[in-house]
């Protein structure tokens, strides 16, 4: 109960801070937005895990690298939002661990392979006062291969997952990227003494709308449309008679800012939603050349609060809080969990090409595992879990199409299992740390 009060108190404080310092964008009417992007990534990941239980201690290290392809396209209008996401990736790595148990020590080394493909659709229909109904779907196919070095042992898993979401709610996270692009542009033009006067708020918002609409013709070909898009913005500024006679400084600044000032998406708003995610899982496994398979259904009812608040050109607050549950039915066991999850993220944009995010997340979970035929060797278990994590992510565009990203994550998880009967509690402490380094070639 103390942990629940702590997370609830932190959420209220963070929301108050954001509301106190945040600037509203209620006056900005987002026009129809059509966007597409394709990322070709080459990434490397490394991780360290330390697990401690009442009976054994395990330390493990892993490293993996591989390519990933991501294609995202979405359309946002006043009455609907549609997003399609396609992912394809592979990782090839090495794993090693050391386990100490009752005076003995076991060391393992393995080669790992993972290949995955996924597709997801998000669809929302908006009504009066931003009330909405949402649905969509998702498909994931994943193959994993774990080969123990120096042994004939291997573990191969093929997993398939289908997901159907349903939700209702109120609110909207407005696309305000071009509000910031307009502010960047006007700030740079003012530095070059290229503006006769400051724009009014209405003129700035109108400029943002022009910028947003000008990009709707893009489909992974922004470079070819650069001249046409810049001309649209230039026509707006000329029509308002805002420019001085310093044409060279104005043209250079407009072209440079247009290419670099909207590389990171910015949103603002509040959303309350409630819904249900339904999952179907199927897995085929091969271990010691013996094949098994099985399937499961999961039901995930949830409440979700989302809050995005840009502070100014450089800072952004993000909050998400979600009470939720998970009910899973497999061939020989049932799981039911109730959780409270909360996340706060502080975004920092020191330059137009750079974004740094610091995120803190926490989770409280309570649930039960119920075997189909419980007995003294396989009893029902009550499970409680508390976890907290922190991550630091930095992204920088070397050019408008070449991005480098580095991320460091750390987390601590404490779990307690209490079997029915006279068994003693079983406790696990898990500490994790990992990093990700990725280079991406981006088309939009």
Q: Which is more confidently placed, 15 or 86?
A: 86
pLDDT, tens digit (0-9, with 9 covering 90-100), for 239-284: 888 888 766 788 888 888 888 888 999 999 999 999 999 999 999 9
What would the mean pLDDT of 82-102 be, rounded to a whole number?
A: 93
- 38 in Cβ contact with 442 (< 8 Å): yes
Res 21: pLDDT: 34
The yes-or-no verdict on residue 385 having pLDDT over 60 is yes
Residue with the larger pLDDT of the pair 421 and 129 = 129
Q: Which distant-in-sequence residues (6+ apart) come within 8 Å of 290 by Cβ?
A: none
Classify 210 in phi/psi space as left (phi over 0), alpha (psi -120 to 50) or beta: alpha
CB atoms within 10 A of CB 355: 22
* Segment holding 238, helix H or strand E: helix 226-239
pLDDT for 358: 97
Distance (Å, whole) CA 103 – CA 56: 9
**For residues 142 and 425, which has the higher predicted lDDT (pLDDT)?**
142
How confident is the model over 69-83, as pLDDT tens digits?
A: 999 999 999 999 999
Q: Taking Cα atoms as reference points, which of 182, 210, 176 lies closest to residue 27?
A: 176
Q: What is the overall mean pLDDT for the chain? A: 88
pLDDT at 24: 41
Q: Which of 240, 259, 246, 231 is nearest to 191 (CA)?
A: 246
Length of the chain: 444
Q: In 3D, which of 68, 72, 118 has the Cα closest to residue 89?
A: 68
Residue 251: CB partners within 8 Å, gap ≥ 6? none
Q: What CA–CA distance (Å, rounded) separates 215 from 371?
A: 55
Global pTM reads: 0.87
């Amino acid at each position: 109960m103390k942990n629940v009060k702590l997370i609830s108190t932190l959420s209220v404080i963070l929301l108050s801070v954001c509301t106190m310092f945040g600037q509203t964008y209620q006056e900005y009417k987002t026009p129809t937005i059509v966007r597409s992007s394709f990322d070709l990534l080459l990434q490397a990941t490394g991780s360290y895990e330390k697990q401690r239980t009442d009976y054994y201690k395990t330390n493990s290290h892993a490293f993996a690298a591989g390519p990933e392809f991501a294609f995202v396209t979405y359309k946002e209008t006043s009455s609907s939002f549609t997003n399609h996401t396609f992912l394809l990736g592979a990782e090839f790595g090495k794993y090693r661990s050391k386990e100490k148990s009752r005076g003995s020590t076991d060391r393992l080394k393995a080669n790992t392979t993972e290949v995955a493909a996924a597709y997801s659709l998000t669809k929302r229909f908006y009504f009066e006062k931003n009330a909405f109904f949402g649905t969509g779907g998702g498909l994931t196919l994943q193959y994993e291969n774990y080969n123990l070095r120096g042994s004939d042992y291997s573990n191969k898993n093929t997993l398939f997952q289908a997901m159907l979401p349903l939700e209702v709610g109120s609110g909207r996270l407005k696309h305000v990227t071009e509000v910031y692009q307009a502010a960047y542009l006007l700030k740079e033009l003012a530095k070059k003494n290229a503006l006769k006067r400051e724009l009014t708020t209405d003129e700035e918002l109108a400029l943002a709308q022009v910028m947003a609409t000008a990009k709707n013709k893009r489909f992974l070909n922004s470079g070819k449309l650069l001249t046409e898009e810049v001309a649209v913005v230039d026509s707006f500024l000329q029509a308002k008679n805002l420019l001085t006679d310093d044409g060279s400084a104005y043209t250079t600044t407009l072209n440079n800012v247009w290419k670099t000032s909207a590389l990171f998406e910015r949103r603002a708003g509040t959303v309350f939603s409630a819904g249900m995610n339904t999952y179907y899982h199927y897995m085929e496994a091969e271990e010691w050349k013996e094949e098994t398979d099985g399937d499961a259904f999961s039901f995930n009812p949830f409440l979700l609060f989302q809050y995005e608040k840009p502070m100014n050109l450089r800072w952004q607050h993000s909050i998400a809080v979600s009470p939720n549950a998970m009910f899973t039915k497999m061939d020989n066991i049932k799981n039911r969990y109730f959780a409270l999850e909360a996340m706060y993220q502080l975004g920092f944009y020191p330059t137009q090409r750079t974004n740094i995010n610091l995120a803190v997340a926490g989770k409280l979970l309570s649930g039960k595992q119920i075997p189909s035929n419980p007995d003294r060797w396989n009893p029902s278990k009550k499970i409680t879990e508390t976890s907290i994590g922190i991550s630091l992510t930095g992204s920088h565009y070397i050019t408008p199409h070449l991005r480098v990203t580095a991320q460091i994550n750390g987390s601590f998880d404490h779990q307690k299992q209490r079997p029915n009967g006279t068994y003693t509690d079983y406790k696990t402490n898990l500490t994790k740390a990992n990093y990700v380094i990725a280079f991406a070639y981006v088309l939009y």
